[in-house]
Amino acid sequence: MFKRLLGDRPKNAVSREKTITEEELLKQLDMTKLPEHVAIIMDGNGRWATRRGAPRSFGHRAGVNALREIVKLSVELKLKYLTVYAFSTENWKRPHEEVNILMSLLVEYLNKEIDKLCANNVRIHPMGILSELPEKAREAVDMAIRRSNNNSGLVFNVALNYGGRSELLMAVQEIGQKIISGYIKVEDINDQVIADHLYTAGQPDPDLLIRPSGDYRVSNFLLWQLAYTELWLTDTMWPDFGRKELLQALLDFQLRERRFGGLLHN
């Protein structure tokens, strides 16, 4: 079971040899069967840095570089939605210094990349309690939303001060308010109503969740949306996660039989 989750492939499938080139992986990819929505828990920056005797901030900076490459490849492949976990509601528990570094990296990333992202038609859609972010981060996020709002290419969901439980709580509160004001009846609440009150309203659920760094957890990410998402786990730390790893994950995804709780159709 874990082997399957970790992406071991049937004999006739593409090999996971490190020597395989990006071009070879690309050649094997069926461009008509790409996932619409890929979600990523960008984990392992701290360990990656510690193993190199470097401060954790070094790992986070390397993590931003990895993210840049993955966004680029997502655009090239014409993926429709990419969702990354950049800062969780639990990450405030980290030392102040680390939180500050993560926030400065966010500001730096958005300010530096916005022109390129817009040139590539990427729409940035932050998800989370943005009002609690430090002022500079909020300003950068507002700028990125404003500048990219009319873009029609890749929707780039950036989970910031995001928690799956907090998202569901917010949805329940909003729906409750609508019931009180007579706008919705209790008996009318269904899956769609709940989905419409999440940050991902109007978007398909992720087809594929990638978690690097060897941990097998969902970590309060997209708790509602991941119901039937395929998981792809790897020991590679996020800063080392590159184009080849994404291609490998997509190739493995193309071998999965998705049944959504039903029976397999021929």
91 has catalytic annotation:
yes
Helix or strand or coil: residue 157?
Answer: strand
Select 86 or 171, whichever has its Cβ closest to ligand FPP: 86
Select 183 or 216, whichever has its Cβ closest to ligand FPP: 216
Catalytic residue among 12, 91, 151, 188: 91
Select 77 or 137, whichever has its Cβ closest to ligand FPP: 137
43 has catalytic annotation:
yes
Q: Which of 26, 55, 69, 91 binds ligand FPP (CB under 6 A)?
A: 91
End-to-end CA distance of the chain: 24
Binding string, residues 100-139; x marks residues near ligand FPP by CB under 6 A: --x--xx--x------------------------------
Select 200 or 213, whichever has its Cβ closest to ligand FPP: 213
Among 84, 112, 68, 76, residue whose Cα is nearest residue 208: 84
Edge-to-edge, what's the strand order for the sheet holding 123-127? Answer: 123-127, 155-162, 81-88, 37-41, 208-211, 230-233
Give the containing element (helix H, strand E) for 209.
Answer: strand 208-211
Distance CA 183, CA 35 (A): 35
User: Alpha carbon 264 to chain centroid distance?
Assistant: 28
Helix or strand or coil: residue 38?
Answer: strand
Distance CA 149, CA 132 (A): 22
Select 37 or 56, whichever has its Cβ closest to ligand FPP: 56
Q: Which of 71, 73, 133, 158 binds ligand FPP (CB under 6 A)?
A: 158
Q: Which of 9, 16, 47, 256 binds ligand FPP (CB under 6 A)?
A: 47
CA dihedral 28, 32, 37, 38 (to 10 degrees): 0
* Sign of the alpha-carbon dihedral angle for 77, 143, 96, 198: negative
Binding string, residues 203-242; x marks residues near ligand FPP by CB under 6 A: ----------x-----------------------------
Distance CA 129, CA 145 (A): 15
Binding string, residues 17-46; x marks residues near ligand FPP by CB under 6 A: -------------------------xxxxx
Window 54-83: residues binding ligand FPP (CB under 6 A): 60, 63-64, 67
Q: Which of 39, 86, 144, 159 binds ligand FPP (CB under 6 A)?
A: 86
Q: Which residues are catalytic?
A: 43, 91
The residues of the shown chain that bind ligand FPP, judged by CB under 6 A, are 42-47, 60, 63-64, 67, 86, 91, 102, 105-106, 109, 158, 213
